[in-house]
Amino acid sequence: MTLGPRGRANYVFRGCGAIPGGVAESAADFRDVLVVPVPPETIVFAAVAGPGDLARILGRLESLGMHVESVHRVRELPRTEHRALV
C-alpha cells in the first residue's frame, strides 16, 4: 500500500454533474482537494486519511450534486502550480 504525504492514500473520483464552485470552495471537507470540471464530468483528486474519510468524501460529493461513477486509488496526485483548493 503506497501512502502519500502525511500517511494519506491518494484517490481520484470521477462522475457526472458539476460541483458548484462557491459551494465547493467553502466546504471544509474539501481542503487541499483538486476539482477538475470536464463537462459533463467532474474529476476530483484527493488525499484520504482512512476508510471513514473515504465514505465521508463520497457522501459529500453526492450531496453537492456529483454522481460518483468510479473511485480509484492512484500512486500520485497531479502536480500543478495553481492547485485549486476546494
79 phi and psi angles, rounded to 5 deg: -100, 125
Strands 41-48 and 67-74: unpaired
Q: Which pLDDT value is given to residue 83?
A: 45
Q: Which pLDDT value is given to residue 29?
A: 57
Q: Is-contact 85 32, C-beta < 8 A? A: yes
Q: Which pLDDT value is given to residue 82?
A: 45
pTM for the model stands at 0.75
Q: What is the tens place of the pLDDT at every residue in 44-82?
A: 998 888 878 888 889 989 988 899 999 999 998 887 644
Q: What is the tens place of the pLDDT at every residue in 19-41?
A: 876 665 555 555 568 888 898 99
